[in-house]
Structure 1
Amino acid sequence: MTPLRLFCLLLLCSPLGLLQAGDAAALRARHLALAEPLANNPFQRPLYLESQHSDSLLQGDIYAELKQPFSVAGPALQGIEQWCDLLILHLNVKGCQASGAAQQARLKLYVGRKFDQPLADAYPFEFHYRVEVAEADYLRVLLAAPQGPLGTSDYRIVLEVLALDAQRSFLHLSYAYRYGVAANLAMQGYLATVGRDKVGFSIVGENASGEPQYLDGMRAVVERNTMRYYLAIDAYLGALALPVASRLDKRLNDWHSGVERYPRQLHELERGTYLRMKYQEVERQQGQGAAQQ
């Protein structure tokens, strides 16, 4: 795999995260501070997205209200096995394997292209998995990979969930990574070729016709992938009320429907192509899980 191809996949699929996590009080204060943008935004849902690109760091954050109470969302997002069921919804995640417990818990993610391919052709990422805080009204989960290819490092994903009321929770999803000289060169190659026409969600101005002009470049990459992973969480939680046998169909269809709400930023595959690919990948993942037992 060439450096450019590899870096494109990392940009599209690597789970990332906050360099510092907060606590329940900080997240509750953040919810109050975001009352206006959560109520009035272009996402058609109570959601706020922000990103940053400084020196060697890329980071994206989503804050969103969930329709599930904490009593549902909190337990559903704690188990390491559940994370494999969640992450496989992303079109570039080809497989996921969970192993170990407590301090030895690991999540091995295979990142690949937007079509079905053998795991041997995908790039493996191994994350340390830890539930950092699990309280009656607040959850914080961390996944961290200290090293990546092409001089990248400090890959993290941080998920926080806070109880709001009997029907709703508040979610904060953050991801980030650091990069060096080799990765920076690959970034520039990506932006000049595969990613040259792609945009993010932040509006930075208007064009001559008065239409919104969206952010591009590396922050746009972070914003698109923050949204993809948020949509995976939302689709995963949204199917929990169904019988187990019916959940996968709903999750896959809901993830694709969520992506297609933002076609300018996120459209990649038609529904039928996505579903065929994912059913095959999920079947392979389930088969591997059974073989490990």
Structure 2
Amino acid sequence: MSHTRHNRRPPSTIPGRWLMGLLLATSLFTQAQAASPDTLRAQFAELRDKGTGQLAGQSIYLRSSESAERMQGEVHALIDQPFDRLRQELAKADRWCDVLILHINVKYCRALRTPSGDELVSGVGRKFDQPLSDVYWVRFGFKATVDRSDHLLVELSAPTGPLSTRNYRIVVEAVPQASGQSLVRMTYSYGFGTAARWAMKTYLATLGRGKSGFSVVDTTADGRPVRVEGVRGVVERNTLRYYLALQSHLQSSEAPGTARLQRSLELWFSATERYAEQLHEMERADYVTMKLKEVQRQATVAPPPPG
């Protein structure tokens, strides 16, 4: 896989913003290791019993970790969708562009069949309308590592990216649950080098100043929670954005024809507004208008060739 971008360099303020949006997922391992369905259920039960990382009364549990060269966010969630439908929507590469484009930083996505396998060509940029000449292009390999009637494991991976970033992956694992529900675990992580570290420091000192994640790391004297900031805060915000994109796509799957896109956009925005303190970036009408334009553009503009 390779990374390509247009010759015109984005403005100097882009790297931090790009990096915040681009953190498109990798696991801590070189290759995702599938847990058994019972193990996945046991992990969710433990989180639920302890309340670890639970978000706003939802059946969504978010946690993150940080090491010297890698960041990771992870969501465990119970979703009100039957496993058969989830499997139908997520086991094929072409459905994933309908998921990724919901994220506010994803400006383009096209699924391609190549001699080496399925790819998703993604353009990632800023949180407002911008030309494709200003986005960063990343090519993700797609693989359904496990695709069975009782277990799904899907991996999206890109080995390299700009600014010394590397090993991006989105790993989604799901199993059926009682009452027509499904359990989902989504892992999102990336590796980085010196250039990426400095780009993130610039972002956190300017546009990202004062923004927090979700994990509670302390309490104030009057008992109010203190939430994680810095790079872990960035990872947590984007982990949840991508999970909510997956959830919104699934929830809109029964909408007819062109109404499905509109429905998924409305659901994603409403879902992120439940966590407006961390995730709000623009008004609903502006988001929907921007995304409708981007979806139309990606249907008519060919992706750049590998390079």
Q: What TM-score do the two structures reach when normalised by structure 1?
A: 0.93
Q: Show the counterpart of 2:194.
A: 181
Flag the structure with more relative contact order, 1 or 2, with Cα contacts below 8 A and sequence separation at least 6.
2
Q: Show the counterpart of 1:5.
A: 14
Q: How does 1:95-134 map to 2 (within 5 A)?
A: 95-100=108-113, 103-134=116-147
Q: Distance in 1 between matches of 2:25 and 2:115?
A: 21
Q: Which moved further from structure 2: 59-68 or 116-125? A: 116-125
Per-residue CA deviations over 1:2-44 (Å, capped at 9, x if unaligned) read 5652242122233112124332343132123223256993422
User: Quick one: which amino acid aligns to residue 242 of structure 1?
Assistant: A
RMSD (Å), alpha carbons: 1.9
User: Quick one: which amino acid aligns to residue 112 of structure 2?
Assistant: S
Q: Distance in 2 between matches of 1:237 and 1:137?
A: 18
Pick aligned residue for 1:23 from 35, 51, 64: 35
Q: Show the counterpart of 2:253.
A: 240
Q: How does 1:5-84 map to 2 (within 5 A)?
A: 5-18=14-27, 19=29, 20-25=32-37, 26-37=39-50, 41-84=54-97
Pick aligned residue for 1:202 from 205, 215, 225: 215
Q: 1:6 to 1:167 in 2, by over 3 A?
A: same
Q: Distance in 1 between matches of 2:96 and 2:50?
A: 29
Pick aligned residue for 1:279 from 292, 296, 306: 292
- Residue 224 of structure 2 corresponds to residue 215 of structure 1: no
The Cα shift of 1:119 comes to 1.2
How many residues are matched? 289
Q: 1:244 to 1:44 in 2, by over 3 A?
A: farther
- SS at the partner of 1:124? strand
Q: How does 1:116-195 map to 2 (within 5 A)?
A: 116-195=129-208
User: Quick one: which amino acid aligns to residue 6 of structure 1?
Assistant: P
Q: How does 1:258-273 map to 2 (within 5 A)?
A: 258-273=271-286
Q: Distance in 2 between matches of 1:220 and 1:35?
A: 22
Q: Distance in 1 between matches of 2:202 and 2:51?
A: 35
The Cα shift of 1:269 comes to 0.6
Q: Distance in 1 between matches of 2:153 and 2:22?
A: 21
- SS at the partner of 1:96? strand
Q: What TM-score do the two structures reach when normalised by structure 2?
A: 0.89
Per-residue CA deviations over 1:217-248 (Å, capped at 9, x if unaligned) read 11000000000001101100001122123211
User: Quick one: which amino acid aligns to residue 22 of structure 1?
Assistant: A
Identical counterparts, % of pairs:
40
Q: 1:54 to 1:86 in 2, by over 3 A?
A: same
Q: Show the counterpart of 2:7.
A: none
Q: Distance in 2 between matches of 1:2 and 1:181?
A: 20
Q: 1:161 to 1:101 in 2, by over 3 A?
A: farther
- SS at the partner of 2:258? helix
Matched-pair contact (CA < 8 Å) for 1:68–1:169: yes
Per-residue CA deviations over 1:173-208 (Å, capped at 9, x if unaligned) read 111111111211222212111111110001122224
Matched-pair contact (CA < 8 Å) for 1:38–1:45: no
Q: 1:112 to 1:104 in 2, by over 3 A?
A: same
Q: Distance in 1 between matches of 2:216 and 2:123?
A: 32
Q: Distance in 2 between matches of 1:53 and 1:2?
A: 29
Q: Which runs of 5+ in 2 are unaligned?
A: 1-9, 303-307
Matched-pair contact (CA < 8 Å) for 1:155–1:176: yes
Q: Distance in 1 between matches of 2:206 and 2:282?
A: 19
- SS at the partner of 1:194? coil
The Cα shift of 1:121 comes to 1.3
More helix by share: 1
The Cα shift of 1:138 comes to 0.7
The Cα shift of 1:102 comes to 7.9
Per-residue CA deviations over 1:124-165 (Å, capped at 9, x if unaligned) read 110111110101111001111111111111111101111112
Q: Distance in 1 between matches of 2:115 and 2:86?
A: 21
